[in-house]
A and B are shown apart, each in its own frame.
Chain A
Amino acid sequence: MTVAQITETLDGTLLVGQELLGLEIRSACGADLMSDVMAFVKENVVLLTGLVNPQAIRTADLMDIKVIVFVRGKTPPKDMLDEAAANGQAVIATKHTMFVSCGKLWEAGLRSGGTR
C-alpha cells in the first residue's frame, strides 16, 4: 500500500512528505510506547501513534520508519514537522482513533503487523 493510499484510507491529511506519496509500505505498527517501537518494529512500516512529541519523530527516524500517522485528530507543531521533513519522513494526521485507523488499514489490505 502506498503512502497516498494510506492517507486516503484514513481520510487523512499529508502534512509533510509529498515526495513519499508513492512509497510502498508493507506493514503497520500502532504504538504510544516508543520503547516498544524500538524493541519490536520490523522494516518498512507505517507507525500509527497518538504520541505527539519529538520523541515519536526521533524514534521513527532511528528505526528507519519513513511514515508516521498521528491519530485522534492530533496535529504536530511546526518544529516537529520541520524535523520530520529534514529526516525525509512523511507525516499524516487523521481524525480517526487508533483502533479505527488500524481497522481501516487492515480492511484495505495492510495486514502485516509490523513487529517481530
Chain B
Amino acid sequence: MKLRYVVPGDDLSFAGRASAEVKRALGRLGVDPSVVKRAAVCMYEAEMNMIIHGGGGVAEADVEQDRVRIILEDRGPGIPNLELAMREGYSTAPSWIREMGFGAGMGLPNIQRNADDLSIESKVDEGTRVTIIIKLSDPPAEQP
C-alpha cells in the first residue's frame, strides 16, 4: 500500500494531516500500536521540518511486507551542515514556528530516536530527501 501527499508550505492548517492519515491507515492494517506511534512521530516531525524549512513538498508512505518506508522530499534551501542539524537543541527555525510548539531543535533527533533507519540526502539550494524506515515485526527502537 502506498500513500502520497502533497504538503503545502504556505498553509499551516494542513500541517500534520498527512501524518495523521498515515497513522490511521497503519492502525486499520492492524500494525502494532507502538510501531504505528513511532512511524507517526517520525513522519510528523519530518512533515513539520518540510513545511518550516523546505517550503512544503511531497510525503510518501509505502507499507511493505516487513516495514514502512516514509519518504519526504522538498525543493527547499537544503541543509548546509547535517551534523549540526542532527544535534539536539540546534535550530534555525524562526520564532513564529516556536510559538507553534516546534522549532526547538528536537525534530531530527526525535526522528532518529524512533526510526529503525534514517537517511538524509540534502544539497544546498536544491532540496532535501528524508527516508525513514520503520520495521513492522521488530520491537520498538531503544529509547535513550
Residues of A within 8 A of B (CB): 32-36, 38-39, 49, 51, 53-56, 58-59, 61-64, 116
> A63–B17 Cα gap in the complex (Å)?
14
User: Within 8 Å CB of B69, what residues of A?
Assistant: none
> A49–B41 Cα gap in the complex (Å)?
19
**A27 CB to nearest B CB, Å:** 16
Contact of A55 with B33 in the complex, beta carbons under 8 Å: no
Contact of A116 with B143 in the complex, beta carbons under 8 Å: yes
User: Within 8 Å CB of B110, what residues of A?
Assistant: 35, 38-39
The bracket for how many chain B residues form the interface is 20 to 34
B101 CB–A CB distance under 8 Å: yes
Contact of B101 with A38 in the complex, beta carbons under 8 Å: no
Cβ-defined partner of A39 (8 Å) among B13, B37, B101, B106: B106
> A55–B14 Cα gap in the complex (Å)?
10
Cβ-defined partner of B104 (8 Å) among A35, A53, A55, A116: A35
